[in-house]
Amino acid sequence: MSVSLQQHASLQPFHTFGTEARAAWMAVADSVDALRSLRMDARVRDLPWLILGGGSNVLFASDFEGLVIRMAVRGVEEVDGDTDAWRIRVGGGENWSDVVARLLHSDRPGLENLAGIPGTGGAAPIQNIGAYGVELAERLHSVTVWDGRHDVLHELSPEECEFGYRDSVFKRDGGGSGLPGAELAGPGRVVVAITLRLPRRWAAVAGYAELERELRARGEERPGPREVFDAVLAIRGRKLPDPAVLGNAGSFFKNPIVSREVHAELLAHAPSLVSYPLAGGRYKLAAGWLIDACGLKGYTRGRAGVFEKQALVLVNRGGASGREIWELAQEVQERVRERFGVCIEPEPRIIGG
Ligand X SMILES: Cc1cc2nc3c(=O)[nH]c(=O)nc-3n(C[C@H](O)[C@H](O)[C@H](O)COP(=O)(O)OP(=O)(O)OC[C@H]3O[C@@H](n4cnc5c(N)ncnc54)[C@H](O)[C@@H]3O)c2cc1C
Smallest distance, Å, CB 37 to ligand X?
17
**Is 246 a residue that touches ligand X (CB under 6 A)?**
no
Q: Work out whether the CA dihedral 336, 342, 322, 352 comes out positive or negative.
A: positive
**Is 329 a residue that touches ligand X (CB under 6 A)?**
no
**Is 178 a residue that touches ligand X (CB under 6 A)?**
no
Q: Which of 243, 288, 305, 322 binds ligand X (CB under 6 A)?
A: 243
Nearer to ligand X, 194 or 285 (CB): 194
**Is 55 a residue that touches ligand X (CB under 6 A)?**
yes
Number of residues that bind ligand X (CB under 6 A): 35
Smallest distance, Å, CB 73 to ligand X?
8
Say whether 251 is catalytic: yes
Q: Which of 66, 92, 186, 305 binds ligand X (CB under 6 A)?
A: 92
Question: Which of 32-40, 48-56, 156-164, 201-209 is the region at the interface with ligand X (rule: CB under 6 A)?
Answer: 48-56
Say whether 189 is catalytic: no
Residues 136-175 interacting with ligand X (rule: CB under 6 A): 175
Smallest distance, Å, CB 221 to ligand X?
26
**Is 109 a residue that touches ligand X (CB under 6 A)?**
no
Instruction: Sheet with 275-277: list strands edge to edge.
Output: 257-258, 283-285, 275-277
Nearer to ligand X, 109 or 125 (CB): 125
From the list 108, 166, 197, 335, the catalytic residue is: 166
Closest CA to 315 of 326, 328, 304, 323: 304
Distance CA 38, CA 27 (A): 9
Nearer to ligand X, 3 or 71 (CB): 71
Say whether 94 is catalytic: no
Distance CA 310, CA 297 (A): 7
Question: Which of 32-40, 54-62, 211-219, 323-331 is the region at the interface with ligand X (rule: CB under 6 A)?
Answer: 54-62
**Is 321 a residue that touches ligand X (CB under 6 A)?**
no
Residue at 334: amino acid letter:
E
Smallest distance, Å, CB 302 to ligand X?
20
Q: Which of 118, 133, 148, 186 binds ligand X (CB under 6 A)?
A: 118
Nearer to ligand X, 92 or 305 (CB): 92
Q: Which of 48, 66, 110, 130 binds ligand X (CB under 6 A)?
A: 130
Smallest distance, Å, CB 155 to ligand X?
15
Nearer to ligand X, 158 or 250 (CB): 250
What is the 3-class SS of the chain, one letter each residue? CCCCCEEEEECHHHCCCCCCCEEEEEEEECCHHHHHHHHHCCCCCCCEEEEECCCCCEEECCCEEEEEEEECCCCEEEECCCCCEEEEEEECCCEHHHHHHHHHHCCCCCCHHHCCCCCECCCCCCCCCEECCEEHHHHEEEEEEEECCCCEEEEECHHHHCCECCECHHHHCCCCCCCCCHHHCECCEEEEEEEEEEECCCCCCCCCHHHHHHHHHCCCCCCCHHHHHHHHHHHHHHHCCCCCCCEEEEECECCCEECHHHHHHHHHHCCCCCEEECHHHCEEECHHHHHHHCCCCCCEECCEEECCCCCCEEEECCCCCHHHHHHHHHHHHHHHHHHHCCCCCECCEEECC
Nearer to ligand X, 156 or 198 (CB): 156
**Is 336 a residue that touches ligand X (CB under 6 A)?**
no
- The catalytic residue positions are 166, 251, 347
Which residues of this protein are in contact with ligand X, per CB under 6 A? Answer: 16, 50-58, 71, 92, 117-120, 122-124, 126-127, 129-131, 175-177, 190-191, 240, 243, 248-250, 349
